[in-house]
Amino acid sequence: MTQLADLTALRLTAGYAAGEFSPVEAARAALDRAERVQPHVNAFTRLEADEALSAAKESAERWRAGTPAGPLDGVPVTVKDIILMRGGPTLRGSRTVRASQAWDEDAPSVARLREQGAVFIGKTTTPEFAWKGVTDSPLQGITGNPYDPQRTAGGSSGGGAAAVALGAGPLSLGTDGGGSVRIPASFCGVFALKPTYGRVPMYPSSPFGTLAHVGPMTKNAADAALLMDAISGPDWRDWSQLGPVSGSFLEQLSGPVAGLRVAYSPTLGWDVPVRPEVAAAVRRAVEKLAELGAHVEEVDPEIEDPVEAFHTLWFSGIARVVQPLGEEARELLEPALRTVCEQGERYSALDYLAAMDVRMALGRQMGRFHETYDLLVTPTEPITAFEAGVEVPKGSGHERWTGWTPFTYPFNMTQQPAASLPCGVDGDGLPIGVQLVAARHADALVLRAAHALYGTGVADIPAPALAATPGGS
């Protein structure tokens, strides 16, 4: 019953409730798909077949008794190998992490899903310490794109996005410190939300500070709302958590889009060479919002690119990650990672505080912008997936990954909710993403607008051929 692997989480739970199929069948379908596609894309650090099937059998008993543990009972889920999940190591893509230590604690988001009876399929790949926008590491190798394994899946949550795109579980937990759920969502043709900072509690705290968010990667916006209902809300282990959520994200999806004030910014007002196919697809998505009754205006938010300030915060963060390592352990790190760590070590406390000044000013500017506009729409990426195994596209002239993803990291600086959903494919059949951004705390609005766009069919793109071949079904 491998076709179950292609169903959304909401469709799966509806099927469990109706007795059409069981969580055991769904878990087997997801595991089968994962095992079949793993040699092609390398999306997983490990699969948890025995544990998943055991959990699925317990879920099946609860559904038969009419007592599911929660709305996600029996749904297959994958977890980025940055996020703690008890029972096995979280190696963070690095040869410097000791696998033999005790692994007996769940991160808050994992704990919430476990309480609801979700079925954990496995851990997904990440670059070393999630430091860059593509997914390859000295420990786990290269993660390929579901549409073309010779291309990158994006990063740093590339394994999770590839898993969702290929049917190896409809839900995946990722992290996003500069675009790390939105970049791979755009490249792999799935949905992702970077929630308002603190909306989903994070523990342990990220070394990248308040840039990093936990967020869902899913088949569509409705599944993301379902997942957000489960993982949002306070946890005492996160000192920067937000308070309880007001209402259900899933129940708020049906609100109107008509009347929303939408700012469409093709380049954020910067000199960004957006590929024509990308620009055309994003414009079509914006036109769909207008057809739904939104008031659309082409306007830029009049902000400056904060990339240098972002580098100061990001590179000093990764330098702090490796600070405890001795010289021998540092030799195990990816060479490019060692380079940015050395750069991060050169920043002073005053440099860091100056970057924070840039960040606070940017936050104020975007806050003022959203007094006029409910949503900002941009391309998620100016490009589609490029060659796997490199940090930047060959011949691009970029030195670091931030050079080719200018539309994502600014909204980590401002802590705003931002989502990516597919809006077409390029001439090579590679997905294109459109980004929706709203004011802080307006996560429900982002999900509602994205859900409305799914209803127009703008996100209907072909499934990866790999998922349908004898080696991938």
User: Is position 348 annotated as part of the catalytic site?
Assistant: no
Q: Is the pLDDT of residue 123 over 90?
A: yes
Residue 241 lies in a domain: no
State how many domains the chain has.
1
Determine which one of 22, 94, 180, 316 is catalytic. Answer: 180
Look at residue 205 in the predicted model and tell me its pLDDT.
86
Q: Is the pLDDT of residue 1 over 50?
A: no
Look at residue 151 in the predicted model and tell me its pLDDT.
98
Quickly state the pLDDT bin for 114 (edges 50, 70, 90).
very high
Instruction: Mean pLDDT check: name the lowest of 8-12, 358-362, 469-473.
Output: 469-473
Q: Quick one: average pLDDT of 245-255?
A: 94
User: Is position 240 annotated as part of the catalytic site?
Assistant: no
Q: Is the pLDDT of residue 2 over 60?
A: no
Q: Is the pLDDT of residue 292 over 90?
A: yes
Residue 413 lies in a domain: yes
Provide the domain limits for residue 56: 2-235+249-393+407-467
Q: Is the pLDDT of residue 274 over 80?
A: yes
Q: Is the pLDDT of residue 471 over 60?
A: no
Supply the mean pLDDT for the chain: 96
Look at residue 473 in the predicted model and tell me its pLDDT.
41
Q: Quick one: average pLDDT of 296-324?
A: 97
Residue 472 lies in a domain: no
Q: Quick one: average pLDDT of 108-137?
A: 98
Determine which one of 80, 132, 194, 288 is catalytic. Answer: 80
CATH number at residue 17: 3.90.1300.10
Determine which one of 109, 156, 186, 206 is catalytic. Answer: 156
User: Is position 156 annotated as part of the catalytic site?
Assistant: yes
Residue 473 lies in a domain: no
Residue 131 lies in a domain: yes
Q: pLDDT, tens digit, for every residue of 187-230? A: 999 999 999 999 999 999 888 889 999 999 999 999 999 999 99
Look at residue 206 in the predicted model and tell me its pLDDT.
87
Quickly state the pLDDT bin for 134 (edges 50, 70, 90).
very high
CA dihedral 303, 308, 312, 318 (to 10 degrees): 100
Quickly state the pLDDT bin for 470 (edges 50, 70, 90).
low
Quickly state the pLDDT bin for 469 (edges 50, 70, 90).
low
Q: pLDDT, tens digit, for every residue of 391-430? A: 999 999 999 999 999 999 999 999 999 999 999 999 999 9
Look at residue 234 in the predicted model and tell me its pLDDT.
87
Residue 242 lies in a domain: no
Q: Quick one: average pLDDT of 35-43?
A: 98
